[in-house]
Amino acid sequence: MPTEGTLNGKKCTRKKCKKYGEILPFDGFSKNRANSDGYEYHCKKCRAECAALRRDKLVKEGSAGKGRRRRQPKGSGPVRLPSPNPSPTSAHSRIDAIQSVFDEQLAIDLKAIKKRVAAEIIHIIQEAFA
C-alpha cells in the first residue's frame, strides 16, 4: 500500500513492497502507470534479484542471450526475395519472382475449380437421366 504521492485523494510518501513487506520511499520503486499509485508493486531491489535469478537460470539452461523465439508460419513459409536495396534489374527479377508465385497459385486454384465444376455437371446429368 502506498504512502507517497496521492492515493484515494490522500497524500503519501512511502510504499510497502509486496515481496518482503519493506516500507520504502517511492524512490525505491520503478514507475508503472498501469498501477493505481503509479509505481510497481515490488521494489527495485526485489526486481533486480528476480532478474538475476532468471538470468542465472537461463545461463544454466544454456539459452541465455538467444532472445525470444518466434513461431514459424505454417506451410512452406514466406517467399524469399532478393536484397533489400535492389538495382533496377534486380527489381524486375523480384517482380518476376512474385508474378511466378502468383501464377502457380492461380493455376492450382483454377484446376481445383475445374474439377469441382466438372463433378457438379456430371452429378446434374446423372440426376436428369436417373
pLDDT in tens, 87-101: 556 667 777 777 787
Q: Are residues 7 and 38 in the same domain?
A: yes
CATH number at residue 52: 3.30.60
Q: Are residues 57 and 8 in the same domain?
A: yes
Residue 75 lies in a domain: no
- pLDDT score for 84: 60
Q: Are residues 121 and 90 in the same domain?
A: yes
Report the length, in residues, of the chain.
Answer: 130
Residue 101 lies in a domain: yes
Residue 68 lies in a domain: no
- pLDDT score for 20: 81
Residue 35 lies in a domain: yes
Full strand arrangement of the beta sheet holding 10-16: 2-7, 10-16, 23-25
Domain count, the chain: 2
Provide the whole-model pTM.
0.41
Most confident range, picked from 10-14, 33-37, 44-48, 82-86: 44-48
Between CA 56 and CA 35, with CA 47 as vertex, the angle to 5 degrees is 145
- pLDDT score for 80: 63
Contacts of 92 (CB under 8 A, 6+ apart): none
- Taking residue 93's Cβ as centre, other Cβ atoms within 10 Å add up to 13
Q: How confident is the model at residue 4 (pLDDT cuts 50, 70, 90)?
A: very low
| Residue ranges making up the domain that contains 101 | 81-130
Distance from C-alpha of 65 to C-alpha of 58, rounded to nearest angstrom: 8
Residue 66 lies in a domain: no
